Chain A
Amino acid sequence: MAEVTLVEAVNLALARAMSDDPSVVVLGEDVGVNGGVFRATVGLQQRFGPQRVVDAPLAELLISGLCVGMAAQGLRPVGEIQFMGFIYPCIDQLVNHASRLRNRTQGRLSCPMVLRTPHGGGIRAPEHHSESTEVMLAHIPGLRVVIPSSPERAYGLLLAAIRDPDPVVFLEPTRIYRAAKGQVDDDGEALPLDVAFVLREGQDVTLISWGAMVRETLTAADELADDGIRAEVIDLATLKPYDENTVLASVQKTGRCVIVHEAARTGGFGAEVAALIAERGLTSLLAPVVRVTGYDTVMPLPRLEQHYIPSVSRITAAARRVCQFS
């Protein structure tokens, strides 16, 4: 057991998967000799060779399309898109091929690929480097969308994603790549996909989040506890398909729910969770479901990004509001 950062946990999981399974191939821009712009793939090419750790040309569509071809042939490709802002050329591959290859061949071919990409803002990066557009991906049938919020979950969920027989987009919260530290045992144990993690139990209000925002959400829960509000904190972890039962069970218990995400509000994944609660948990609600999110604006450049990303105080204010509702 060692204390590692989230990005180091990603690296450990990649190395473990590559060493366990010769069909795992890592490809992306600067992932080889350079070890990745965030160092997620550092040391992999030295250890596993340039055939399995491929410095791809600067072409994101290609990276995702290569993954589809490799996966259909039984390899386990793990592609890296350097920043989420550059993933959009891959959408065609994800929608039209990766997510439906199994279905359109009725199981004759499958697509066990992973596409990793940094997610979200807060690192003072240039334009196009800070968006959180997970909901676009979470709308695609046949795909899995996974986003860890700690080194432990980064390790366990990435291993699970690579071993999964279907395509997974693995979003890595950039803001906590290094800020999040935790004990990770490099034992090759995966964590379950499609399962939400209850990080803190509470009776009064359910706080639901994912990715980097889980940190602020946990801090908010601490502050609320000082005021005697016992918040339950759920890390959704897999957005597609998500763990409806854990959400509903928690809301049934607390009767109150605040959903926290960094992405823009309208049509964000919070809207889906709120709709689920409205459809199947309405009778247990004691207050309206509230979303604390980024605004429906373009993600601002770094000088203002801290105003866009939900703060601890916005979360606690929302939680207090729903607790005082009735």
Chain B
Amino acid sequence: MAEPAITDEELPVIARFEVRRRSYLAPDGTILRRLPQFASDTSALLSLYRGMVLTRAFDTKAVSLQRTGRLGTYAVSLGQEAVSIGIASAMREEDVLLPSYRDNAALLWRGVKMEETLLYWGGDERGNHWSGPAHDFPFCIPVGSHAPHAAGVGYAFVLRKQPRVAVCLFGEGATSKGDVWEAMNFAGIYKLPVVFVANNNQWAISVPLKLQTASETLAQKAIAAGFIGEQVDGNDVIAMRAAAEEAIVEARAGKGPRFIEAVTYRLGDHTTADDAGRYRPPEEVQAHWKEEPIARLRSYLVSQNAWGKVEEERLAAECQQLIEVAIERYLATSPRPPETIFDHLYAELPAAYAAQRRELKDASHG
């Protein structure tokens, strides 16, 4: 082998990059570093806590509805509640949320009613005609394919000079797709007000992170697109909220996109149609239960004398009550007439399909 003409030491380094990691609360709820400004307001923390607890209670009920044949396939966010809640809590009403199928919590936070979410997962499109922000996108099911929409939304804000931000959530598996890269690349070029959030829960159904990427972090993928990527402890809702707030404020101020890698763990199955026991050792899951976000924030709140057993019981009862009312409303919603599947196909039903609508109406009404 011939000696190389130049050794590596002689080649100049032309760029260096770094990725920061944000966390405030240790898994036991103790403080790792000075908390962000908003955390001095206990009511803000209690509100985040309530959002996570409600989400978990709702997920639990949704799964039992599915198991008893009263709901379709459903994706819980068990263990990842801090991601959706932290992000949504930093958004304004006029911002646009582009959620993945696991972001029920973000939608609930933004005003979508639980019965509407149930209606969608129960197999009725009307669940997406919701009481939440009319401009928010519905759940994206084809993984990562909504990232280009976020860039398009961000572009519209820039064109119209509106101080609004598009926030796009997806899982770590989505970062393997060209869609996400193409969107990030474009957002970087035009400095669009878009915040990309990867919920890195370590598992894309049965495929672990190490088979998705050889990257040390997902956050560094933003560097290639020309903007900041930050890794955040996704089980620390204070960190999630702070990271989202900073990213959204910067984006709103015209400083371009941000990428947040929320490192968390999927404590549950991928969906109700999955059995994670087939591909994941129970010890791994058990170990991650020690880091989950709700117990962590509770420990902190208890240590601040801001929370206790009475409050916990009261909150649990309140959540149950809200969920039960929502389930009643969901179950009481009659199916829409079959021929209405034509009604939102186009703004106005083309003449060619009016006959098909009649055909379905006649067939379905006997």
Do B152 and A65 have beta carbons less than 8 Å apart? yes
Instruction: Return the contact of A241 from the options B189, B341, B347, B353 (Cβ within 8 A).
Output: B353
Q: Is the CB of B149 within 8 A of A69?
A: yes
**Interface status of A244 (Cβ within 8 A of chain B):** yes
Instruction: Confirm or deny: B280 has a beta carbon within 8 angstroms of a beta carbon on chain A.
Output: no
CA–CA, A109 and B126, complex, Å: 12
Q: Is the CB of A66 within 8 A of B347?
A: no
A97 touches B352 (CB 8 A): no
Would you give the shortest CB distance from B184 to chain A, in whole angstroms? 10
Q: For A93, what are the chain B residues with a Cβ–Cβ distance below 8 Å?
A: 145, 148
Is A56 an interface position by the 8 A CB rule?
A: yes
Residue in chain B with minimal CB distance to A112: B347
Contact present for A66 and B148 (CB under 8 Å): yes
Do A105 and B151 touch (CB < 8 A)? no
Contact B347 A65, beta carbon cutoff 8 Å = no
Assess whether B182 is in contact with A108, with CB atoms less than 8 Å apart. no
Partner of A69, one of B141, B156, B178, B345: B156
A51 partner, pick from B135, B157, B159, B353, beta carbons under 8 A? B159
Is A25 touching B159 in the complex (CB atoms < 8 A)? Answer: yes
Tell me whether B186 and A66 are in contact (CB under 8 A): yes
B350 within 8 A of A: yes
Binary interface profile of A, 61-96, with partner B (CB < 8 Å = 1, else 0)?
110111111111111010000000000010011001
Residues of A contacting B137 in the complex (Cβ-Cβ under 8 angstroms): 72, 109
- Give the CA-CA distance A105 to B133 in the complex, in Å: 12
Chain A residue nearest to B128 (CB atoms) is A105
Say how far A75's CB is from chain B's closest CB, in angstroms.
Answer: 5
Number of interface residues, chain A, beta carbon within 8 A: 46
Please determine whether B125 and A241 come into contact, CB atoms closer than 8 angstroms: no
B96: min CB distance to chain A, Å? 8
Whether B129 contacts A62 by the Cβ 8 Å rule is no
Tally inter-chain residue pairs, CB-CB below 8 A: 138
Whether a CB of chain B sits under 8 angstroms from the CB of A306 is no
Beta-carbon contacts under 8 Å, B283-312 to A: none
Quick check: is B117 within 8 A (CB to CB) of the other chain? Answer: no
Q: Which residues of A contact B352 (CB under 8 A)?
A: 194, 241-244
Are A65 and B145 in touch, CB under 8 angstroms? Answer: yes
Q: Residues of A contacting B220 with CB < 8 Å? A: none
* Interface residue B99 (Cβ < 8 Å from any Cβ of A): no
Asked if B129 and A105 sit within 8 Å, CB to CB, the answer is yes
| Chain A CB within 8 A of B179 CB | yes
Smallest CB gap from A59: residue in B: B182
* Residues of the A chain whose Cβ atoms lie less than 8 Å from the Cβ of B345: 102-103, 141-142
- Is B57 positioned at the interface, with any CB of A under 8 Å from its CB? no
Contact with A along B122-136 (1 / 0, CB 8 A): 000110111000110
Tell me whether A57 is interfacial, beta carbon within 8 Å. Answer: yes
- Complex CA–CA separation, A142 to B348 (angstroms): 11
Q: How far is the CB of A168 from chain B (nearest CB, A)?
A: 11
At the interface, yes or no: B138 with Cβ under 8 Å from chain A?
A: yes
Could you give 6 example pairs across A and B, Cβ below 8 Å? A25-B159, A52-B159, A59-B186, A62-B186, A66-B155, A73-B153
In the complex, besides A70-B152, A92-B145, 7 extra interface pairs with C-beta distance below 8 angstroms are A25-B155, A66-B186, A69-B153, A69-B156, A72-B153, A103-B125, A104-B128
